[in-house]
Chains A and B, each alone.
Chain A
Amino acid sequence: MVPVEHILYLAALLLTAGLAIVIVKRNAIMVLLGIELMLNASNLNLIAFNRLQADKIDGQMFSLFVIVVAVCEAAVGLAIVLRVYKMYQTSVPDEVSELKD
C-alpha cells in the first residue's frame, strides 16, 4: 500500500497551491476556488490518517462535515460576490475600497 507520507506530500502541495491562488488572483471567484482547494487538502490529510487505524471511521466522518462546511462557504461566498458585483460593478476585491479613507 502507498505510505502515508506520499498522501501528506500531495496534501501539502494542494494546500500551498490554494494559498498561492488566494494571494495572487485578483478575482473573488478565483479566491473562492483557492479556498476550496485548501479545504480539500485538509480532507486528504484526514483520510490519510484514517488509514492508520482502519477499524475506526472518525476521520471519514470528520471529512464529511468539512465537505458540508465547504459547501455552505461556497454558496454564501458566491452570493456575497454577486451582491458586491451588483453594487460596485466589479468582482475584484481590491477595488471595493470604500472604507479605505
Chain B
Amino acid sequence: MSLTNIMFYFFALVAALSAISMIFVKNVFYGALLLIVCLLSVAGIYVLSFAEFVAVVQIIIYAGGILVVIIFGIMLTSRMAGKPLLVQHGNWFPGLLVSGVMFVLLITLLSQQSFMQPSLPPQPEKQIGNIGVGLMTDFVLPFEIAGVLLLAALIGASVVASTMKSNRE
C-alpha cells in the first residue's frame, strides 16, 4: 500500500467520523467545528485526486468565509450570552430510516457498477494554468454568471439581515 493510499484512507476516515458525529452532537458550535474538520479532510482528498486548485479554494472559502459567517450566526441567535446554543433532536426514526435506506441503496448500486481505472494527468504541474485558461475561454459564461450571482447574494443578504426600519413596519 503506497503512501498516497494511506493518506487517502486517513482523510476518508476523518471525514466520515466527523460527518457521523455531526448527527449526534448537541452543541451547534461543536457542529460547526466538526463541519470544518470534515471539509478540510475532503480538501485533502482533493489534493490526492490532482485537484489542487479546488482544494485551495475549498480551504479558503470554507475555513475563511463560511466558518466565520456561521459562528457569527451562532453568536447572534443564542438567547443568553455565555450559554452554549443547544439543539433539540426530533424525527429520529424517519431521519435515520430515510438516510439509512438511501445509504444502503447507493452502496449496493455503486458496488454493482464497474468504473474505469483512474489515470494520471499528463502534465500535473500545468493543471492550475489549464484551469485559469479554461475560466477565461470555455467557461467564461458561467464565470460571469457566478459573479452576478455573488453580487446578488451580497446585496440580498445585507438587505435581508439589515435592521433598517422599512416603511411597512
> How many A-B pairs fall under 8 Å by CB?
231
Across the A-B interface, give the 8 residue pairs with the lowest CB-CB distance, nearest first.
A23-B95, A72-B153, A54-B121, A79-B161, A20-B99, A51-B118, A12-B106, A79-B157
Contact with B along A44-55 (1 / 0, CB 8 A): 100110111111
Decide: A74 and B115 in contact? CB cutoff 8 A. Answer: no
Interface 1/0 per residue, A32-71 and B, CB below 8 Å = 1110110010011001101111110101110111011111
Contact assessment for A57 and B42 in the assembled complex, using a CB-CB cutoff below 8 Å: no
Interface of A is mostly: helix
Given contacts A29-B77, A50-B49, A68-B146, contact A10 B12 (CB under 8 A): yes
Per-residue CB contact flags for chain B residues 53-80 toward chain A (1 = under 8 Å, else 0) read 1100110011001100110111011010
* 6 chain-A/chain-B pairs, Cβ below 8 angstroms: A3-B115, A15-B102, A29-B74, A54-B120, A54-B122, A89-B79
* Chain A interface size, under 10 / 10 to 19 / 20 to 34 / 35 or more: 35 or more
Interface residues of B in 110-169 (CB under 8 A from A): 110-111, 113, 115-122, 127, 130-131, 134-135, 139, 142, 146, 149-150, 152-154, 156-158, 160-161, 163
Given A2-B8, A16-B103, A79-B156 contact (CB < 8 Å): yes
